[in-house]
Amino acid sequence: MKIAIRGGTIITASETYQADILIDGEKVTQIAREINDPVDQVYDVTGRYVLPGGIDVHTHFALPMAGTISSDDHYTGHKAAAFGGTTTTIDFISQDFETLKECVQAWHEKADPLAATDYSFHMNITRFDEKIGQEIPTLVKEGITTLKVFSAYNNRLRLQDGEIFQVLRIAKAAGMLTMLHAENGDVIDLLISEALASGKTSPVWHARTRPAWGAVEAVLRGSALAAQAAAPLYVVHMNTGGEVDQVEYARKNGLQVMGETCPQYLFFTEENLQQPDGAKWICSPPMRTKFDNERLWRGLEEGSIKVVATDHCPFFYDGSVAISYEDQPVTIPGKELGKDDFTKIPNGLPGVGDRMPILWTRAVNSGRLSANEFVALNCTNPARIFGMYPQKGTILPGSDADLVIWDPRKQVTYGVDMAQHRTDYNLYEGWRLIGFPEKVFSRGTLIVDGKTWYGKKGNGKFIYRKPFAEIL
């Protein structure tokens, strides 16, 4: 099927210009000032912008945690993403089986039948030995070129520094990228035990037992390990200003260290956890201070932070009360599990559908970022760093026709009733937004048209990513 998108203004990471786009099947085949070829469908998008589909490289769908499971699976999460302009997501595989191959197979069995948009996987390495080390390079044939390691979650997810160093070296040789969750697990465990012993169980203690300095020193330590391994490093969900300082220090010293942040760390602080509904804001790592908000913003503006992702991992605020999702009642245990103990509150937030609309209003409309920088952070840089460019993340002949028709004048009052996440709250409830997706195409197929959803389970394709991707 041939589709012409006419009259729009194309915005990429580097250019803004008016042109028509010809789609043939799943690909963009032509971009020109005027396209008058015979086509099956024409969309006149005069006065709208045409953006590449967003890429969220940090999501957790159907992730078991704290006696429950994150409430979006690979269908509902992809649907929510698409309504917010995101057409590709990358999820994390848990190391639940003896071999990595078994872990990958299990995640495909979970995701493939449900996927409504394109997707890929990272591999968590939370248990390391010689056999695992030998198996890591085989992931490249599976299209998985990224590994995640943790310096927190002792006795569950954490690797020791020597093990992280070995992972970094193995990844480097195979053309893979190591991602780091940077906190200090030893300090966290001690502070949590002291807080509980003192009867300090409210949500704010989730943040107070995970000090910002633990993240700062973990980024420096991770950077030092990467330097000694001569390997690239990507720091996930940076939440504190000191982390930005450490990434900048590493980069100024010639290290291949990159970082991402998430919208929640730009807008919210520890004070939100002190509200009566503070459990809604619990995620790991936690929100910090207004100073940290501002330092992260400057990191985006100055280019030291390369990606905005979401760490989407939603839970119901009150899982004892059903919500209606696609006309069916849904109840999933949620944050009420920890009403008397912050350590039992599932850590995670909804966000995959919020990222681009929220940032357009608060970053582009405010003048903090240009529209091109917005596209770079949300679309192009993720594609380049994670081995999907130029298939994804841009608008070029030969690229997948993942396109977002963006109405820069559309005004909405945002919140849980507009967001499509399968949960019962939204962090941005009542925010007034100007600029919103109007139509969304996934590989040339219209899946979102205003409030109408045309996506289907199983239509998403797994993206086999390339090793030796760019270091930005």
Pair 49, 85: CB distance under 8 Å: no
Alpha-carbon 339 to chain mean position: 27
Residue 19 predicted with pLDDT over 90: yes
Token representation of residue 185:
């697990």
Identify the residue whose tokens are 């690229």: 399
CA dihedral 198, 204, 205, 207 (to 10 degrees): -160
- Cβ-based neighbours of 231, under 8 Å, separated by 6 or more: 168, 169, 171, 172, 178, 256
232 DSSP assignment: -
Query: How many residues belong to the chain?
Result: 472
**pTM (predicted TM-score):** 0.97
Strand order from edge to edge, sheet including 118-124 = 54-59, 86-93, 118-124, 146-150, 177-181, 233-238, 257-261, 307-308
- Vertex 172, ends 166 and 175: CA angle to 5°? 140
Question: Which phi and psi (to 5°) does residue 120 adopt?
Answer: -150, -175
The pLDDT of 252-265, averaged and rounded, is 98
Question: Domain boundaries in the chain?
Answer: 2-51+401-453, 55-385
Q: Which residue has the higher pLDDT, 66 or 182?
A: 182
Phi/psi zone of residue 297: left (φ > 0), alpha (ψ -120 to 50 degrees), beta?
alpha
32 DSSP assignment: E
Mean pLDDT of the chain: 98
Burial class (CB in 10 A: 0-12, 13-18, 19+), 44: exposed
Fold of the domain spanning 2-51+401-453: Urease, subunit C; domain 1 (2.30.40)
Pair 259, 238: CB distance under 8 Å: yes
23: three-class secondary structure by DSSP: strand
Give the homologous superfamily in CATH for domain 55-385. Answer: Metal-dependent hydrolases (3.20.20.140)
DSSP conformation letters of 53-91: PEEEEEE--S-EETTEE-S--TTHHHHHHHHTTEEEEEE
- Cβ-based neighbours of 373, under 8 Å, separated by 6 or more: 13, 300
pLDDT band at 188 (very low <50, low <70, confident <90, very high): very high
Strand order from edge to edge, sheet including 27-32 = 27-32, 20-24, 2-6, 41-44
Pair 243, 259: CB distance under 8 Å: yes
Identify the residue whose tokens are 């100055």: 302
Give the span between the Cα atoms of 109 and 111, in whole angstroms.
6
Give the span between the Cα atoms of 58 and 229, in whole angstroms.
25
441-471 in b/e burial notation, b at 16+ Cβ within 10 A?
Answer: bbbbbbbbeeeebebebebbbbbebbbebee
Same topology, domains 2-51+401-453 and 55-385? Answer is no
448: three-class secondary structure by DSSP: strand
Question: What are 384-416's pLDDT values in tens digits?
Answer: 999 999 999 999 999 999 999 999 999 999 999
The pLDDT of 248-275, averaged and rounded, is 98
Question: What are 21-50's pLDDT values in tens digits?
Answer: 999 999 999 999 999 889 999 999 999 999
| Pairing of β 257-261 and β 54-59 | unpaired
Considering the chain, what percentage of its residues have pLDDT values greater than 90? 99
364: three-class secondary structure by DSSP: helix
With CA atoms as reference, report the closest residue to 237 among 218, 209, 256.
Answer: 218
Token representation of residue 65:
């945690």
Find the helix or strand (DSSP H, E) in which 261 lies.
strand 257-261
269 DSSP assignment: B
The pLDDT value given to residue 453? 98
The pLDDT of 218-234, averaged and rounded, is 98
The pLDDT value given to residue 305? 98
Pair 308, 260: CB distance under 8 Å: yes
The pLDDT of 184-207, averaged and rounded, is 98
Pair 247, 255: CB distance under 8 Å: no
Question: What are 288-338's pLDDT values in tens digits?
Answer: 999 999 999 999 999 999 999 999 999 999 999 999 999 999 999 999 999
Question: What are 345-358's pLDDT values in tens digits?
Answer: 999 999 999 999 99
The pLDDT value given to residue 36? 87
The pLDDT value given to residue 293? 98
For the chain, give the longest Cα–Cα distance: 73
